[in-house]
A and B are shown apart, each in its own frame.
Chain A
Amino acid sequence: MSVVFYLLAGLTVAGGLAAVLLKNTVHCALALTVAFAGLALLFLSLDAQFAGFAQILVYIGAVAILVVFAILLTRGSETPKDGVYSRHWISGLVIAAGVFAVFGWAVLQSLGGLPVRTGPAPTVTVLDIGNALMGRYVLPLEIVALLLTAALIGAVIVAMHEKEGAK
């Protein structure tokens, strides 16, 4: 394990913790962006250049902006008077700690069986990925295109103002 990995892992986990713990919702969105950037750098450190840059474009470029828009449209930046945590936060924390304990135990138990492919990093060019997307993975690609279209139309319809009604 290299120093770079520890730095990136620390950055990512700190960003995730801040995104979950901070009181101001706008600060949470900014911390979420830091966590996304840390994850993109982790992808790059794993020699997955395409996934890393896709992560930067999609998450930092689109999802984080969407989250900020939603926070500002719903005036969510005001801290509520009765706390930011739900009534049942203890049970939620216990469940999350239990899930982490199970995952950590499973990883540490299977240390011997995990694949370790040492040697040079796999060289994957964008050409390879494009060929794979147009060849073996063309059906999932079409399904994702359909899903994105449906999600686009659905999000617009759901968030659209009604002509009549309560508004």
Chain B
Amino acid sequence: MNPLAGYLLVAALLFAIGLAGALTRRNAILVLIGIELMLNAANLNLIAFWRYGPHPEALTGMMFAIFSIAVAAAEAAVGLGLVISIHRHAKTTDLDAMNRMKG
């Protein structure tokens, strides 16, 4: 089997797991965990294409993955800050219980 295809399949499986977590869990933090898994699966794709692509010396996929890691870190910080803020207002992190736009 093509080695690149193995990595792509693992990344697709991880993405689907993260998507299932983001869509099925009630806790807002678990939804963020699912989103992090999806971002990581995308990073694995980028690195795998960089490794098996025709021009690894151009560093394109590697740079894309590094910037993606930085953006994901910013996203995690803001997302968890929002969850803590919502918990302070609504006293819950249950997404099914959050049904008002105005606290």
| A interface residues, Cβ below 8 angstroms from B | 1, 5, 9, 12-13, 16-17, 19-20, 25, 28-29, 32, 35-36, 39, 42-43, 46-48, 50-51, 54-55, 58-59, 62-63, 66-67, 69-71, 73-74, 76, 80, 83-89, 91-93, 95-97, 99-100, 103-104, 107-108, 111, 114-117, 121-122, 124, 128-129, 132-133, 137, 140, 144, 147-148, 150-152, 154-156, 158-159, 161, 166-167
- Interchain CA distance A167-B73 in the complex, whole Å: 29
Is there an interface contact between B26 and A93, defined as CB atoms closer than 8 Å?
Answer: no
Interface 1/0 per residue, B14-56 and A, CB below 8 Å? 1111111111111101101110110010011001111111101
The residue from A12, A73, A114, A137 contacting B87, defined by CB atoms under 8 A apart: A73
Q: How many A-B residue pairs have CB under 8 A?
A: 251
Chain B interface, >50% SS class: helix
Q: Which residues of A contact B77 (CB under 8 A)?
A: 66, 151-152, 155
Is there an interface contact between B80 and A66, defined as CB atoms closer than 8 Å?
Answer: yes
Residue of chain A at shortest CB distance from B48? A46
Q: Can you report 9 A-B residue pairs in the complex whose CB atoms are below 8 A from each other?
A: A12-B10, A19-B37, A28-B33, A46-B51, A92-B19, A93-B23, A100-B12, A100-B15, A107-B12
- Interchain CA distance A67-B73 in the complex, whole Å: 11
Q: Which residues of A contact B66 (CB under 8 A)?
A: 50-51, 54, 129
Is there an interface contact between A115 and B34, defined as CB atoms closer than 8 Å?
Answer: no
The residue from B2, B29, B49, B84 contacting A111, defined by CB atoms under 8 A apart: B2
Q: What is the distance, in angstroms, from A10's C-beta to the closest C-beta of chain B?
A: 9
Is there an interface contact between B40 and A73, defined as CB atoms closer than 8 Å?
Answer: no
- Interchain CA distance A12-B56 in the complex, whole Å: 25
- Interchain CA distance A124-B60 in the complex, whole Å: 12
Is there an interface contact between A155 and B81, defined as CB atoms closer than 8 Å?
Answer: yes
The residue from A103, A117, A151 contacting B74, defined by CB atoms under 8 A apart: A151
- Interchain CA distance A62-B73 in the complex, whole Å: 8
Is there an interface contact between B80 and A67, defined as CB atoms closer than 8 Å?
Answer: yes
Q: What is the distance, in angstroms, from A126's C-beta to the closest C-beta of chain B?
A: 11
